[in-house]
Amino acid sequence: MTEGGSNAMWGGRFSAGPDAIMEAINASIGFDRRLSDQDIRGSKAHAAMLAQQGILTQADAEAIRDGLDKVKAEIDAGDFAFSTALEDIHMNVESRLRELIGAAAGRLHTARSRNDQVATDFRLWVRDQCDAALTGIATLQRALVAQAESGADWVMPGFTHLQTAQPVTWGHHMMAYVEMLARDAGRFGDARARMNECPLGAAALAGTSFPIDRSATAAALGFDRPMANSLDAVSDRDFALEFLAASSICALHLSRLAEELVIWSSAQFRFVVLSDRFSTGSSIMPQKKNPDAAELIRAKIGRIVGASMALLVVMKGLPLAYSKDMQEDKEQVFDAADTLMLVLAAMDGMVRDMTANRDALEASASSGFSTATDLADWLVRELGLPFREAHHVTGALVALAEGRGVDLPDLNLADMQGVHPEIRAEVFDVLGVRNSVASRTSYGGTAPARVREQVARWKEALA
Ligand code: ARG
């Protein structure tokens, strides 16, 4: 489409075409071809609106619509010759349209600019990714809820500082991630709602003198309304930043679960067995079964947070309105979105397939003085000790047991009474880990009964 070495889109002012290096730094077609579907949808909505407003003839609008359908079919079939000389997806599509339908193609760009065009395309694309993230999150939540349901009363150690703290249930631990993911979904939902305004018709930056109907194009593209300020419409990318921020936090949550799976699947813990389908072997050590998927999920957050930082830095300090800097938004968001969908799917597969080792979980929960708090609470409840004193008495009993290399339930009543004479035999009831978790019935607590309530609530919400 270049004519006489210059560019047919703006060749009127130019006598020479671009240097090869200029073309290399300027072109975005290598990546923004991913916006072809959004670009063509936007153009069809724009052309239909122009005809409805009497700005285009019905015949031209129909030729444009049919031509755009052909362009889309060529792209979908892999038959489209993308050209770097044509810089970006917008000019590639328009140029091919001109080859297909002739001069009418030149009327499509009436009352619009690539600035509002790309802002519209990109919003449509990011909006789809919000929907994909919501679907991926819900799928993973279902897998976690299924794990929680089967192990609602399985006892495992709860940790603080990665030191045994108090017994909890497997179901409760799984449901903690369901809650985190619910807030992630909320963030994607909020971002989606906020970004769902249409930039199209802002034109280059100032709006247009043509009598366009921006509400019509907004509605045709599924937006709630047109954006109210043309300068803002073409020059902000906060919708993409919000998507990246929500993605970063979601990836962070996944990295924490991934880290737990790495630890839990080790020979030292044996809390879970990951399936062969989501593990790899070692080329030298025959015994190895490695949690590579979990490790990669733990690592891939780096790309997503990196994309978020990169776009923040690109946007920082840009004067209004459009600057070419903004072309640097796309690769970051594309990579982050691809990565997020992959890690959500991989985590879903791993969680769905994994088997928790109930016996190892309970054995581990029973060691490390995990019911020391239950003992202290008993001293408060039954003997009326102030909590601080109960804490002290319990500490002395832990030291006694530790010195003998045993756990709290292994001490006998005489040992206990040696530290506090009023301690009675019933105290042993609270030293068992099952009783411990069953007693934590406060709202949001780890008691199996409470976990089952949450499982039921989430099963209904995710159905
Ligand atoms: N490829 C450009 C981008 O991604 C499209 C908008 C170009 N606008 C302009 N005035 N050069 O941002």
Active site residue 161: yes
Pick the closest to residue 6 from 22, 308, 61 (CA basis). Answer: 22
Give 87 Cα–ligand 1 centroid separation in angstroms: 9
Confidence at residue 11, expressed as pLDDT on a 0 to 100 scale: 74
CA 97 and chain centroid, separation: 37
Confidence at residue 288, expressed as pLDDT on a 0 to 100 scale: 79
317-341: b (≥16 Cβ within 10 Å) or e: eeeebbeeebbebbbbbbbbbebbb
For ligand 1, whether the C-beta of 28 sits within 6 Å is yes
The minimum-distance atom of ligand 1 relative to the CA of 89 is 1
pTM: 0.93
Active site residue 173: no
Amino acid at 342: L
Query: Which residue among 36, 109, 115 has the greatest number of ligand 1 atoms within 8 angstroms of its CB, and so is best to mutate?
Result: 115
For ligand 1, whether the C-beta of 118 sits within 6 Å is yes
246-252-256-257 Cα dihedral, nearest 10 degrees: 40
Q: For each of the chain's 463 residues, which pLDDT tens digit applies?
A: 444 456 767 777 888 888 999 999 999 999 999 999 999 999 999 999 999 999 999 999 999 999 999 999 999 999 999 999 999 999 999 999 999 999 999 999 999 999 999 999 999 999 999 999 999 999 999 999 999 999 999 999 999 999 999 999 999 999 999 999 999 999 999 999 999 999 999 999 999 999 999 999 999 999 999 999 999 999 999 999 999 999 999 999 999 999 999 999 999 999 999 999 998 887 878 787 899 999 999 999 999 999 999 999 999 999 999 999 999 999 999 999 999 999 999 999 999 999 999 999 999 998 889 899 999 999 999 999 999 999 999 999 999 999 999 999 999 999 999 999 999 999 998 999 999 999 999 999 999 999 999 999 999 999 9
Confidence at residue 41, expressed as pLDDT on a 0 to 100 scale: 98
Confidence at residue 177, expressed as pLDDT on a 0 to 100 scale: 98
Angle among Cα 141, 142, 145 to the nearest 5 degrees reads 85
**Atom 11 (ligand 1): residue with closest C-alpha?**
324
Contacts of residue 397, defined as CB under 8 A and 6 or more positions apart, other chains included, come to 372, 375, 408, 411, 415, 416, 419
For ligand 1, whether the C-beta of 326 sits within 6 Å is yes
Residue that has been written with the tokens 């730094």 in this structure: 25
Give 324 Cα–ligand 1 centroid separation in angstroms: 6
Give 115 Cα–ligand 1 centroid separation in angstroms: 6
The minimum-distance atom of ligand 1 relative to the CA of 204 is 10
The span from the CA of 262 to the CA of 269, in Å, is 10
Give 118 Cα–ligand 1 centroid separation in angstroms: 7
Give 74 Cα–ligand 1 centroid separation in angstroms: 23
Q: Identify whether the C-beta of residue 374 lies closer than 8 Å to the C-beta of residue 439.
A: yes
For ligand 1, whether the C-beta of 115 sits within 6 Å is yes
Choose the catalytic residue: 161, 209, 283, 442: 161
Residue that has been written with the tokens 């949808």 in this structure: 41
Helix or strand or coil: residue 154? coil
Choose the catalytic residue: 6, 46, 209, 282: 282
For ligand 1, whether the C-beta of 114 sits within 6 Å is yes
**Atom 2 (ligand 1): residue with closest C-alpha?**
327
Q: Which helix (H) or strand (E) holds 169?
A: strand 163-169
The span from the CA of 106 to the CA of 110, in Å, is 8
